[in-house]
Amino acid sequence: MLLERQRAGRESSWAGGGIVSPLYPWRYSDAVTALAHWSQDFYPPLGQELLQKTGTDPEVHVTGLYWLDLDDEVQALAWAAERNRPVSRVAISSVKVAVPTLAEGYSTAIHMADVANVRNPRLTRALREALLQLPNVTLREDCAVDGFIHEEGQVVGVRTAQGDIRADRVVLCAGAWSGELLATLGLDLPVEPVKGQMILFKCAEDFLPSMVLAKGRYAIPRRDGHILVGSTLEHEGFDKTPTESALESLRASAIEMLPALADAEVVGHWAGLRPGSPDGIPFIGPVPGFDGLWLNCGHYRNGLVLAPASCRLLTDLMLGREPIVDPAPYAPSARLKPLA
């Protein structure tokens, strides 16, 4: 049974850009890298499977990604060489040939050729439809969980406004709300909401052939010519209100990268809440002292790219199988503490 406080897939999974890579993968720990690499290979067949099962195409779109004027280019290239990732330094003149709409003034670039982006609103819609086709899955939407049923050291269900629901095992995967829920058991889970705002342009289908990233902002092309530009990083609690200042900042960044966007209409502007966590390392595994309760949360800025591997790792642990990666870095047992 999947319980969702609103409609499934409408929070950070819907709001993000859908890049199937951390924005700066060399700046993350090996724990994040291990999950990201596994998931990147998983997405193309997942997209095909979901299209066949549901008729909804998540659009796993391999465009590659150019990073422009990086301060830590040397570290990025060393990271790629060490892990055999297809990242290379390219002349800025060749970037201009590949991306004719790119602004002048950039001096250096590196390129990762095999990076894809996913149209995440369609991905979540397809996943929801695929779940509903399964005979052993129940989806209950508009059913917010506000606590756990805790009996004799075991978690045996959850409490909701619609009544108690008992279960053999409970997985807490409530995104930015996960820390608040675990606090009801007296545990300090360092997962908090971090607001991010995005804007969307509509251009010709061939306007932007590759993703580009400069000065911390990125532009992502969809196949139909929509261009996403993001994102902000704001600590505003659970406030998801889009702001005029963010709209102006994101539009300025977009035009600085791609000057022709000055003549394009902003057709969308929204905000989402990332589940912020220390170093972006998710919490995956059982909660010590609370048998029956498991975590899969705290993916911060990389929820989409880490999701397939995170779910596979959690499933391996719950079923007692050989895990796909070493589970130790994600284990709640070493990272939770009682509330002060």
**Structure confidence at residue 266 (pLDDT):** 96
Amino acid at 99: V
What are 85-139's pLDDT values in tens digits? Answer: 999 999 999 999 999 999 999 999 999 999 999 999 999 999 999 999 999 999 9
Residue (of 318, 245, 256, 259) closest to 285 by Cα position: 318
Q: In which residue ranges of the chain is pLDDT below 70?
A: none
Strands annotated E in the chain: 2-3, 61-62, 65-68, 87-90, 109-112, 116-117, 139-140, 145-151, 154-160, 163-166, 170-172, 187-188, 192-202, 211-214, 217-221, 226-230, 266-276, 283-286, 293-297, 337-338
Token pair 């397939």 is at which residue? Answer: 308
Residue (of 236, 297, 322, 321) closest to 272 by Cα position: 236
> What's the rounded Cα separation, in Å, for the pair 151 and 156?
7
- Structure token digits, residue 96: 């201009």
**Structure confidence at residue 87 (pLDDT):** 95
**Structure confidence at residue 340 (pLDDT):** 80
What's the distance, Cα to Cα, between the start and end of the chain in Å? 33
DSSP 175: G
DSSP 330: G
3-class secondary structure, 233: coil
CB neighbours (10 Å) of residue 91? 10
> What's the rounded Cα separation, in Å, for the pair 22 and 28?
8
